[in-house]
Amino acid sequence: MMKLFSILLVSCLVLNSSISFSTACSIPDSSVDLTAYNQESVELLRKYNYTDEEIALLLEYDRTHPVSPPMSECSLYAVDLPQNPKEGDVVYHDTVFTFEEITGFGTDAASIAIAIAVKSKVTAAVAAVVARRIADYLNSHAPFKSVIITVKWYYGMTNDLVLGWTTVIHDYKIKT
């Protein structure tokens, strides 16, 4: 499914057309009920001024597109993760986005978060924090050439209390 979204994004960019954000993920229904989602994530996204509809869209995307790869699929991800990781292993990976890639789903923060999630292999909720900053930058500046996003992959205890890979956006740089 993730390959489908990547192909869709690339096709969209090649054809120099836009894609409706709703095609990337469907919102569960019009009466947004956020109780089914992790409330820490909901509160974090509210802190960054996402609407309930955007929060539902981002968290539904995350629910249907899990990030932490099974060890047998580590080489399929955006970064080469060790096949036999030890607790505490850290891997940093830079992903370069052109202006067209970062705005391929749209220029609002939620659309940018999905674009980051698709290419960087992070959750949309993680991408949402930096996406808000990029969207704010777009609202007050001319278009930029690219964005470099550094993702930190950490192998350790996850929120589910099992060993696995966790991602965070470590840094980002806008190149004008």
Identify the band that residue 68 occupies on the pLDDT scale cut at 50, 70 and 90. low
Contact 25, 57 (CB under 8 A): yes
Assessment of whether the complete model's pTM goes beyond 0.75? no
Which SS3 state, helix, strand or coil, does residue 175 take?
A: strand
Locate the DSSP E strands across the chain: 90-98, 146-157, 163-175
Mean pLDDT of 17-37: 56
CA distance between the termini of the chain: 33
Say yes or no to pLDDT of 161 above 90: no
Say yes or no to pLDDT of 60 above 80: yes
Report which of residues 75 and 17 the model is more confident about: 75
What is the per-residue pLDDT for 149? 93
Mean pLDDT of 162-166: 86
What is the per-residue pLDDT for 114? 92
What is the per-residue pLDDT for 78? 53
What is the per-residue pLDDT for 168? 84
Long-range Cβ pairs for the range 6-9 (8 Å, 24+): 6/118, 6/119, 9/101, 9/104, 9/105, 9/115, 9/118, 9/119
